[in-house]
Structure 1
Amino acid sequence: MSKPTLLILAAGMASRYGSLKQIDSFGPHGETIIDYSIYDAIQAGFGKIVFIIREEFLEKMRTVFDEKLHGKIEVDYAFQTYDLTKFGIDQVIERSKPWGTAHAVMSAREKINEPFCVINADDFYGTDAFVKMAKFLTSEVADDNMSLMGFQVGNTMSDHGYVSRGVCEVDENGNMQSVTERTNIYYVNDDQGKRKIVYEEDGVQHDLDPETRVSMNFWGFTPKIFDVAESMFTDFVPKNADNPKSEFFIPSVPDYMVKQGMADFKVIPTASKWFGVTYKEDKENVQQSISQLVEEGAYPTKLF
């Protein structure tokens, strides 16, 4: 089987963060968060990187990544655009933001013919997640057997505000039964002053066990996902043409496939601690966490 590909979603401008965090510096030699994901992917046995970006970012991304990755791993780029004709949709719809993460994945169809992993550009996932996903994509994956990395929600929180997570319901075989997007997860103190995790729905707080498995947009797919996503997208667009904030998210595709009996999605457990920069205030914490990993020998001082 060919080596799997890593598809990195890097088209968003990150409104809450306030800058193009995909190319911000976090490591001791100016490394980006993406650099650590790419390093882990190379070590785990991935054979190609595909970046999903906006076309206007191409030269900047090439300046940052092409030279340092030359000879280490194949690199390619795909563009997330507003053109719907490539998906068989003739309707012209004015929008100020793209159609969401599943639409971004669909935009890479012409670049990927092998099993692949999808990640966010601005999330630090840890070595364990890449090793486990590479093993799955080279030994287990099939059109009816795909996967997602299941992080413990307690390892994915921000101290600076709410986060959105895909909360997974897992059956006795370790397969996803459903994934529900919770858009308002945060810390509160209980009656004893001890910090706990809750999510808010319709103005009501609900406790969330810190070990609950959540999706951090770390998925293992075959190209079959493109066919299913495009079929769903052609139905999604007309229904949401008048809603400029509507987005076609990745979890909706696996969720549909599971409920239709089209595929199982194995929830691969990892105890890795996720680092992210949802908010600008998160940057210092991420830098400190990466510095600690470097000091412990988990990564070299200079990646590339």
Structure 2
Amino acid sequence: MMNTTLLIMAAGIGSRFGGGIKQLEPVGPNGEIIMDYSIYDALEAGFNKIIFIIRKDLEKDFKEVIGNRIEKICDVAYAYQELTDIPSGFTKPEERTKPWGTGQAVLSCKGILREPFAVINADDYYGKEAFVKVHDYLVRSSQPGSEIPSYCMAGFILKNTLSDHGGVTRGICQIDENVNLINVVETHNIVKTMEAGKVGAVIQGEKGGFKSIDEESYVSMNMWGLTPDFLEVLQAGFSEFLSALKPEDIKSEYLLPTIVDELIKSGRAEVKLLETHDKWFGVTYKEDKEVVVKSFRKLIDSGIYKEKLFD
């Protein structure tokens, strides 16, 4: 059996959630958090190791809430994403208060990650289908013979990934005739609309205007299937990213969709989009929690999950 790892990015500060640690909010009937369900689905799909990417200051709370429990059922490791963890020759801007984004998060696993892996957000529920498809693709594509790296991404339908309580950020995707990604555009403030009972979506501009967007578009939810060589790409790219920063870019982030998009356009990788129709939910906003709790209750009542998840 091939070893495959699930990376869970859980170092976010959670500012839109009111300053709390949103990744550790209980949403299941026995105190389960969203990560519990993602880990359950990943192990069921065939992944056999978990790496939690956290901040050092979260470590004690994180292990008490979930880490110590998961260590009893599978191999677990920790990586630490810190604002000050940047290449030699660079200094942290004095005004910078948050880590450098999802690219830096995955890069923090360098040295402890040696097998094909999937990466997900801690506060998003992805559904079972995506884990199975990504795991199976990693197993198939890790065979020798490919001239360039072959990665994958779970492609969700935009209308299935919107919040009722505010705008969300999604990577809007374009694909070719072989269902390979050709473009990923990180798009902010996508707002859910409802007209005649039909879900739609618009992009809300900073000055209040709206731009329509196809609600059937494929989007990235930061669920990628990658191989260890990707970390070398991240390391080189992070230095380039920092070198290009200007003073006004103080909040800029080194983001996975942008990194993957550059690899595709330069012909250095191909990325297969694996379509999934599961409905996303997560706690982007504090008001989302009630919806998430009700959604898991419905999944349990329908037999998708057990009342006590890991019993």
Alignment correspondent of 1:292? 298
**Change in CA separation of 1:138 and 1:189 when aligned onto 2, cut-off 3 Å:** closer
Report how far residue 199 of structure 1 moved: 1.7
Q: Indicate which of 199, 206, 225 corresponds to 2:203.
A: 199
1:193-219 deviations in Å (ceiling 9; x for gaps): 865211245755332222210000000
**Change in CA separation of 1:89 and 1:126 when aligned onto 2, cut-off 3 Å:** farther
Separation in 2 of the partners of 1:271 and 1:116?
22
Report how far residue 92 of structure 1 moved: 4.1
Q: Is the 8 A contact 1:166 1:180 kept in 2?
A: yes
Deviates more, 1:67-76 or 1:17-26: 67-76
Q: Indicate which of 238, 251, 263 corresponds to 1:233.
A: 238
Q: Is the 8 A contact 1:96 1:244 kept in 2?
A: no
Q: Is the 8 A contact 2:102 2:254 kept in 1?
A: yes
Which runs of no fewer than 5 residues in structure 2 stay unpaired?
none
Whether 1:6 aligns to 2:17 is no
Q: Indicate which of 246, 250, 263 corresponds to 1:244.
A: 250
Report how far residue 102 of structure 1 moved: 0.6
Separation in 1 of the partners of 2:137 and 2:200?
33
Amino acid aligned to 2:52: F
Q: Is the 8 A contact 1:4 1:47 kept in 2?
A: yes
Q: Indicate which of 218, 221, 236 corresponds to 1:216.
A: 221
Separation in 2 of the partners of 1:44 and 1:135?
8
Alignment correspondent of 1:188? 193
**Change in CA separation of 1:189 and 1:73 when aligned onto 2, cut-off 3 Å:** closer
Alignment correspondent of 1:60? 61
Report how far residue 238 of structure 1 moved: 2.5
Q: 1:85-104 alignment to 2 at 5 Å?
A: 87-94=87-94, 95-104=96-105
Separation in 1 of the partners of 2:246 and 2:91?
9
Separation in 2 of the partners of 1:46 and 1:222?
14
Q: Is the 8 A contact 2:169 2:187 kept in 1?
A: yes
TM-score between both structures, scaled by the size of structure 2: 0.92
Deviates more, 1:22-31 or 1:55-64: 55-64
Alignment correspondent of 1:72? 73
Separation in 2 of the partners of 1:253 and 1:194?
34
1:193-249 deviations in Å (ceiling 9; x for gaps): 865211245755332222210000000111111111221111111222523211111
Q: Is the 8 A contact 1:93 1:241 kept in 2?
A: no
Deviates more, 1:64-73 or 1:163-172: 64-73
Alignment correspondent of 1:164? 169
Q: Is the 8 A contact 2:159 2:200 kept in 1?
A: no
Q: 1:237-276 alignment to 2 at 5 Å?
A: 237-240=242-245, 242=247, 243-276=249-282
Q: Is the 8 A contact 1:89 1:234 kept in 2?
A: no
Alignment correspondent of 1:151? 156
Alignment correspondent of 1:106? 107
Which runs of no fewer than 5 residues in structure 1 stay unpaired?
none
Amino acid aligned to 1:114: E
Separation in 2 of the partners of 1:225 and 1:59?
30
Misfit runs of 4+, over 4 Å: 192-195, 201-204
Q: Indicate which of 285, 288, 293 corresponds to 1:282.
A: 288
Alignment correspondent of 2:132? 131
Separation in 2 of the partners of 1:54 and 1:91?
19
1:147-200 deviations in Å (ceiling 9; x for gaps): 11000001001111111110001111001001001102113356x786521124
Amino acid aligned to 1:147: C
Amino acid aligned to 1:77: Y
Please, what is the CA RMSD of the aligned residues? 1.8
